[in-house]
């Protein structure tokens, strides 16, 4: 138990905001992670994904309104639901393009939202988002690069970032987690390797008006050569990932 506590503390200290050690995972997030109704497969992924520390960085509080942008299978949607509690709301966004490509994405959204009384399904094209107004936080995990897939227009990310900026209340947080590409490669690996250069993300998001407030090395991996697809069995689940916290100025 002592060793487990030490590992947890060291992980938290890896997070920094303007050079200061990040606070401990709040009780509302810890409670959400411990919820026995979470799928066992989700809980088994926690050690590698560090959702507690990530959502703490995103400042997810009870009663908050949050958008899970490109919700995937609902892993973070379920945690967010417990973290914001009955007075909060989680909007689970699944792009219509994804649902058209793979029907399972639509089924995952329906099943996830149906089981969460404070969750609402959002669908729409990546190129023409219509997000709710005055939300506290928007998170997107391992999906920012998808806005640069070849089927999408070249201005998809710019339009999405602008809509996310509009959706957030002043002072709201936009948290981006994604697979790192080779430094200096820009968006070149987004379609082929499902990775993106962290510098490109910073540039695009800041162009929408956001201010980069913090980044964390919690999911970094020096062993990742950055040259394989994130779906390659040799690297899947072990990629080098960046965590960026942006804020909409007040």
First CA to last CA distance, the chain: 42
Q: What is the pLDDT of residues 6-58, one digit of tens each?
A: 333 334 444 443 333 345 899 999 999 999 999 999 999 999 999 999 999 99
What CATH number was assigned to the domain covering residues 2-247? 3.40.50.150
User: Mean pLDDT across the stretch 69-97?
Assistant: 96
Give CA–CA dist 62/81, Å, rounded. Answer: 10
pLDDT at 130: 87
Separation in Å, CA 145 to CA 2, 116, 133: 39, 28, 24
Q: What is the pLDDT of residues 197-208, one digit of tens each?
A: 999 999 999 999
Non-local CB neighbours of 243 within 8 Å, separated by 6+ positions: 54, 57, 175, 176, 177, 215, 216, 217, 218, 219
Give pTM, 2 decimals: 0.89
**Residue in the structure block whose two tokens are 């947080």:** 173
Non-local CB neighbours of 32 within 8 Å, separated by 6+ positions: 79, 80, 81, 82, 83
Q: How confident is the model at residue 96 (pLDDT cuts 50, 70, 90)?
A: very high
CA-based nearest residue to 140, from 222, 189, 196: 196
126 vs 180, which has greater pLDDT?
180
């Amino acid at each position: 138990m002592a060793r487990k506590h030490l590992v947890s503390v060291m992980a938290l200290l890896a997070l920094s905001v303007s050079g200061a050690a990040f606070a401990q995972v709040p009780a509302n997030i810890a409670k959400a992670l411990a919820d026995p109704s979470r799928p066992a497969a989700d809980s088994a992924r926690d050690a590698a994904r560090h959702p507690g520390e990530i959502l703490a960085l995103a400042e997810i509080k009870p009663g908050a309104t949050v958008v899970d942008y490109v919700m995937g299978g609902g892993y973070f949607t379920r945690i967010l639901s417990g973290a914001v509690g009955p007075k909060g709301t989680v909007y689970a966004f699944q792009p219509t393009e994804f649902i058209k490509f793979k029907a399972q994405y639509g089924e995952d959204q329906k099943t996830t939202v149906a089981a969460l009384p404070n969750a609402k399904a959002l669908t729409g094209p990546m190129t023409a988002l219509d997000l709710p107004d005055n939300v506290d936080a928007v998170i997107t995990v391992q999906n920012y690069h998808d806005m640069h897939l070849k089927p999408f227009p070249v201005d998809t990310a710019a339009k999405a970032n602008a809509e996310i900026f509009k959706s957030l209340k002043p002072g709201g947080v936009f948290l981006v987690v994604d697979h790192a590409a080779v430094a200096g490669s820009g968006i070149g690996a987004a379609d082929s390797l499902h990775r993106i250069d962290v510098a490109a993300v910073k540039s695009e998001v800041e162009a929408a008006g956001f201010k980069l407030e913090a980044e964390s090395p919690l999911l970094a991996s020096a062993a990742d050569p950055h040259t394989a697809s994130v779906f390659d069995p040799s690297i899947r689940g072990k990629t080098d990932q960046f965590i960026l916290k942006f804020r909409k100025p007040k």
